[in-house]
Chains A and B, each alone.
Chain A
């Protein structure tokens, strides 16, 4: 049973470019979460999605960031016009159902470097 998959593992972008991060949840999981880890900090919640729906985006920056989880295919975190402050590790997690007691299974992360 494959775990949560993220690609690319490393992504380098110049300021002003777009970054697209992909996440395929574990088989049978329909709940996806995105977290950002800045250097020397813990993980910060960004967004929680179910298939075709954004459930909680309270941690998403108001501009330039968007997320989707289409009916078919992976979840995508999109960052437009990247700036150096976007450099971080972005982790995706998935769970089989809704509920704070559920274990979230994490992917290996995408490390974004903005030059």
Chain B
């Protein structure tokens, strides 16, 4: 079975500062990797996903993530955050060839302060 670990439950950061949200996964088979964002009282919105190919993936709102197979990581980064980036961020995996269900991490609350 696969699992996802997001070690940081909360990340405070000042506006215009860079941020990295960490995600590590565990799986005995190949996986697809996703980052979703959840604004208060809303559903999840896809930021980006890694399927194959280039390990650096660019997403919406200036976010990017890098797949590192040897470290089984898929960290999310943004060079300069904005107040509007305040939200909960979830890393998720699905198993290649193993159905569609997503396995989520517990989420990281990003709080951007002035």
A39–chain B nearest beta-carbon distance, Å = 11
Residue A95, interface by CB 8 Å: yes
In the complex, what residues of A have CB within 8 A of residue B97's CB?
Answer: 100
Place the interface of chain B in its size category.
20 to 34
Query: Does B68 make an interface contact (CB < 8 A)?
Result: no
Q: Are B90 and A45 in contact, with the CB atoms below 8 A? A: no
- Candidate in B43, B95, B100 with the most chain A CB atoms within 10 angstroms: B100
Q: Mark A1-33, 1 if CB is under 8 A from B, else 0.
A: 000100000000000000000000000000101
Contact B100 A33 (CB under 8 A): yes
- Given the known A-B contacts A42-B90, A100-B95, are A31 and B100 also in contact in the complex, defined by CB atoms under 8 Å? yes
- For the complex, is A85 an interface residue (Cβ under 8 Å from B)? no
Instruction: Tell me the residues in window 10-46 of chain B with beta carbons closer than 8 Å to chain A beta carbons.
Output: 31-32, 34, 36, 41-46
B residues engaging A (CB < 8 A)? Answer: 4, 6, 31-32, 34, 36, 41-46, 49, 51, 90, 92, 94-107
Residues of A within 8 A of B (CB): 4, 31, 33, 35, 40-45, 48, 55-56, 58-59, 91, 93, 95, 98-109
